[in-house]
Amino acid sequence: MRIGIMGDGISGLHLALRLQQLGIDATLFGARSPEAVRNGRALNFVVRSGSTRRREALLGVDHWTSPDTLAEARTVVVHGPEPLSFRADPHPAYSVVDFRLYLPALVETYIARGGRHVVTDLTARTAHDAACDHDLVVVAGGRAAGELFPRDPGRSPFDAPQRILCGGLYRGVGEAVPRAIEFHVMPGVGEVLRMPFHCADGRVDVLGLEAVPGGPLEPVCRIPYDADPARFHSAVLDALHRHVPDLRERVDERAFRLNRPTDLVQGGIVPVVRRAWRALTDDTYAFAVGDAWIVNDPITAQGANLGSHCALETAEAIAAGPPYDEAFCRATEERMRPYADSVVRWTADFLRPPSPQLLDIFRAADADPAVGAAFAANFDDPPAMWHSIADPEHTAAFLAGARSRPAAPASSTVAVAATGSQGHSRGQT
């Protein structure tokens, strides 16, 4: 069997690396060489969760282990008339590595192990052409490539961006809690994220402004950087001063600047769920994974983690053998559906004004660290997270369980999944 993988982001790469481990012939197509990705604009600012790190250990690509690549803590601060704050630390630590380092390294590992990586222009036409050479074409080309697949209106929660983003890598920002992700919620205004990040220039800080469209933060998020960097920096500082003064106080104004002009991502993302497959010819199908299938707003930091989850699910389905026909596509989509639906619903919920259930959890976490710990654990378990906030009864049960649960031991290490691992786990320093 010959599998074509169109797109070499995290979804395509995790699929290619897993198929390679399983001895299945695959060709990975991408738009740019590893060098071009390394030298390009920032793509995103991805936090990779414990389960993604476990998959990376399984794939033997757990390349980043130094403390500067990890986020070991998380604080949540709710601003407004009822201020709340709590810790929700991840166990194990999150990995926070620039995808301009991460993706090229994985491509090079894949090639070094004998994998075929072809740099080409992927369009609907070439996906069609690829059908001639492959028994299945997996489309992992991200948001734009998703247009090959019909939108699922019943599952797509919105038809317009729910946040306008302005995220960048900065110098001169101080942290309150060492190596913590700091998440500020301003109901009606949006969110501010600050977190440690590892890029080609070493340790920097991500500052992400997520503006509710039409709210007071939106104009700041739309200010272009290149036209007038000084105006841009001053507008970001003013926004911090107005909305998150404690964070503003930790900024050293003389050192504050975007790390590089290319270290900025601005704009809005339309969350969308698509059908995961379509016929390319009478007997060859295209199957979507990652953002080509489902696009989420980054507010819950799930897109790349979901793409990795689906990549390994798809690899196991492919390994079960042909035919890769419509029945295969339907069954594989259904296999991924419960997990993916949870991510979509939870993310949509976080984009709306905080529900009474969510506020109950925040209040309880503010009063009891055990609740914060249980809430943190659910970030890496989307079905459990969605269950805990979907209705008041579930929230009450979650809170009762959380209060009686012993605290998780602090750890930044990951263990390899038990399923026939060919990877290895390295202790984190």
Ligand X SMILES: Cc1cc2nc3c(=O)[nH]c(=O)nc-3n(C[C@H](O)[C@H](O)[C@H](O)COP(=O)(O)OP(=O)(O)OC[C@H]3O[C@@H](n4cnc5c(N)ncnc54)[C@H](O)[C@@H]3O)c2cc1C
Which residues contact ligand X by CB under 6 A? 7-12, 30-32, 44-47, 121-123, 140-142, 144-145, 165, 167, 265, 290-291, 298, 301-305, 307
Please say which residue, 124 or 400, places its beta carbon nearer to ligand X: 124
* Minimum CB distance to ligand X, residue 123 (Å): 6
* Minimum CB distance to ligand X, residue 30 (Å): 5
* Minimum CB distance to ligand X, residue 369 (Å): 24
Please say which residue, 31 or 402, places its beta carbon nearer to ligand X: 31
Query: In terms of DSSP H, where are the helices of 187-290?
Result: 218-221, 229-243, 245-249
Please say which residue, 344 or 370, places its beta carbon nearer to ligand X: 344
Q: Are 120 and 29 in contact (CB under 8 A)?
A: yes
* Minimum CB distance to ligand X, residue 43 (Å): 6
Q: What are the phi and psi torsion angles at 320 (to 5°)? A: -70, -10
CA quadruple 157, 161, 164, 165: dihedral sign: positive
Separation between Cα atoms, residue 98 and residue 103, nearest integer Å:
9
Please say which residue, 377 or 402, places its beta carbon nearer to ligand X: 377
Please say which residue, 268 or 369, places its beta carbon nearer to ligand X: 268
User: Dihedral through CA 287, CA 291, CA 71, CA 382, nearest 10?
Assistant: -70
* Minimum CB distance to ligand X, residue 305 (Å): 4
What number of other Cβ atoms are within 10 A of residue 68's Cβ?
Answer: 14
Separation between Cα atoms, residue 183 and residue 199, nearest integer Å:
21
Q: What are the phi and psi torsion angles at 40 (to 5°)? A: -90, -170
* Minimum CB distance to ligand X, residue 269 (Å): 6
Cis peptide before 92 (omega within 30 of 0): yes
What helix, strand, coil percent values describe the chain, rounded to 5?
40, 20, 35
Please say which residue, 4 or 360, places its beta carbon nearer to ligand X: 4
Please say which residue, 10 or 340, places its beta carbon nearer to ligand X: 10
* Minimum CB distance to ligand X, residue 346 (Å): 13
In terms of residues, how long is the chain? 429
Residue 213, C-beta contacts closer than 8 angstroms, at least 6 positions apart: 160, 161, 162, 163, 164, 268
Q: Which residues pair with 151 in a beta bridge?
A: 274
DSSP state of 298: G
